[in-house]
Structure 1
Amino acid sequence: MRKEIDNSFRRTATMKKFFSVLLAALMLFTVAGCGASEPAPAPAEPAQEAAPAEPAEPAPAPESEPAEEPAASGEPVTILVAAAASLEYSYKDELIPMFTEKYPWITVEGTYDSSGKLQTQIEEGLEADVFMSAATKQMNALKDESLIDADSIVDLLENKIVLIAPAGSEPAAKSFETVTDAATIAVGDPESVPVGQYSKEAFTNLGIWDAVSAKASLGTNVTEVLNWVAEGSADVGVVYATDAATTAKVQVVAEAPEGSLEKKVVYPVGIVSASQHKDAARLFVEFLQSDEALTVFEEYGFTPNK
């Protein structure tokens, strides 16, 4: 009996030992497995230096807009036009307003007198930008003095000289050939007034200048001659056809006879060399050559020069 008890005890002790060893092995395996389940992080690789960035290609420059003409820039500018007295009404009433409506940033001022006086004023420093005379003589003189840009000159218009008398009266003379029948004759001063130069030429070619000059009152410009006849201060006078058409106070008696003038009555226009506003001046001269401007000139009795 005792022997069986001892054997049973030994078996029990042996089993406990076995399970203790087994438990320890399991615990060891579990610990090892847990440690292997999360591998240690690999050592960090040294940071690589960033490659230098390639310089960006410059953006293509935007295509530039074509430059505007200086005179079309819209910057306010004022030009002075020196024009023969016979052009005053067509300029002031029609042409300048038409031009400034088209080019509102350009202001056009005008000074009007005999072409000879305007020539002298330009020679003395008048700050004009455009000159338009009633004869080529004054324009050519200024060109020869380098006071007008030669390549800007345009022989723009033609005119006629006519004999006039007060409206509503019986003319004291009815032709250029019989002009000395009148007691008083108004003509422009031949020394400075183109219409006076044309008058002298016509009467000289007719052989009567000396007789005319004995009765003549010399006007400082064509407007003065016109006014003397309109007011009745002179029996007859010689003016441009365009001036005679500006008032109902005179009547046209006759045109200068064919052949009495060697050349046509031509109105040239050009740009003053000293002009500080040549772009604007050029626009004005170009405008005067346009169909719309020439139509206005025709309405005032001028003929486009061809």
Structure 2
Amino acid sequence: MGTDHTLTRRIWRCLTVAFGLLAALTILAPPALAEPKPPLVLAAASLQEAMTAAAEAWARRGHPRPVVSFAASSALARQIMGGGDADLFMSADEDWMDTLAKAGLIVPETRTRLLFGALVIVGPAGGRLHLRPAPGFALARALGGGKLAMADPDSVPAGRYGRDALQHLGVWDQVSGQVARAENVRAALGLVAHGAAPLGIVYATDAFAEQRVRIVGVFPAASHAPIDYPLARLKSSTNPEAEAFRRFLLSSEAKVIFRRYGFVAP
């Protein structure tokens, strides 16, 4: 009986020592590192393929893959002004970035004019129409009573560029009643791709991304304001990955990606 009691006490002493060592190791061990949070990027719809490829390239470097949300620059800017959560904003024009800057919502020193683009007219891939956008060119005749697909000229950058170009060339009044206003440039592209409109005005990069359309005309650069894509970090962002990814987008590696999708990346 005494032997059993002694054995039991020894077992309890061993267990006590073991639990003590385990507790000490738990206290002394460094805390597990939290997984980095992926940055949230709000980007103009026309950047879809290029920004997706850039995010994948960044992830291959061992970083969490950025979450990229695409829509019209106007919709994204309003989302940010409404308190929407995001880390980076890449607009399809300077005006919406200016709006956020005036509202104090971006970090000014992170604002960069990253990319440039071209404005084109697209038609069905199987067509043979060719247009040379110039003063008074026959756009109304080419439409033949059909719709001209454009992003909304009153709010979306691609639509504003298109309206400005047509006004500059003196043909806006002839076709304004036939405009099919889309919520963004990709929606306008889709109208032509699906045969709902015979012609559309989009960015050249959008035309490259859709096999069911072809470029039938290129607007002169002087007919509209420069098509540029500014990038900035939002002031509300606290994610260190956001600044790291922003810097990557400025790198030579990222510029190769953007050029592959038809952008001019100086």
> With structure 2 as the length reference, what TM-score do the two structures score?
0.82
Shift of 1:75: 4.2
Checking the alignment, whether the CA contact within 8 Å between 1:88 and 1:112 is kept in structure 2 is yes
Shift of 1:211: 2.0
Cα distance in 2, alignment partners of residues 85 and 123 from structure 1: 18
Partner of 1:49: none
Cα deviations by residue, 1:121-162 (Å, 9 ceiling, x for unpaired): 000011010000111111111011101111110000000000
After the TM superposition, which parts of structure 1 deviate over 6 Å for at least 4 consecutive aligned residues? none
Partner of 1:198: 161
Within 5 Å, give how 1:41-56 maps onto structure 2. none
Partner of 1:296: 257
Partner of 1:207: 170
User: SS state of the match for residue 269, structure 1?
Assistant: strand
Cα deviations by residue, 1:224-277 (Å, 9 ceiling, x for unpaired): 01111111110100000000001211010111124211x311000000111121
Cα distance in 2, alignment partners of residues 126 and 282 from structure 1: 18
Cα distance in 2, alignment partners of residues 273 and 222 from structure 1: 28
Partner of 1:284: 245
Residue from 67, 84, 89 that aligns with 1:126: 84
Checking the alignment, whether the CA contact within 8 Å between 1:163 and 1:175 is kept in structure 2 is no
Cα distance in 2, alignment partners of residues 285 and 179 from structure 1: 40
Residue from 250, 254, 258 that aligns with 2:213: 250
Cα distance in 2, alignment partners of residues 290 and 236 from structure 1: 36
Partner of 2:120: 162
Deviates more, 1:207-216 or 1:77-86: 207-216
Checking the alignment, whether the CA contact within 8 Å between 1:188 and 1:218 is kept in structure 2 is yes
Cα distance in 2, alignment partners of residues 188 and 213 from structure 1: 13
Cα deviations by residue, 1:191-217 (Å, 9 ceiling, x for unpaired): 221100100110111122222211100
Within 5 Å, give how 1:8-157 maps onto structure 2. 75-92=35-52, 94-104=53-63, 106-157=64-115
Superposed CA RMSD in Å reads 1.5
Checking the alignment, whether the CA contact within 8 Å between 1:77 and 1:107 is kept in structure 2 is no
Letter in 2 for 1:125: G
Q: Which has the higher contact order (CA 8 A, sep 6+)?
A: 2
Cα deviations by residue, 1:163-212 (Å, 9 ceiling, x for unpaired): 100111233x7233322121221111012211001001101111222222
Partner of 2:183: 220
- Verify: 1:185 aligned to 2:148, yes or no: yes
Letter in 2 for 1:298: R
Letter in 2 for 1:288: L
User: SS state of the match for residue 243, structure 2?
Assistant: helix
Checking the alignment, whether the CA contact within 8 Å between 1:159 and 1:265 is kept in structure 2 is yes
Cα distance in 2, alignment partners of residues 143 and 118 from structure 1: 14
Cα distance in 1, alignment partners of residues 58 and 34 from structure 2: 14
Aligned pair count reads 228
Q: Cα gap change, 1:74/1:283 in structure 2, threshold over 3 Å: closer, same or farther?
A: farther
Shift of 1:288: 0.5
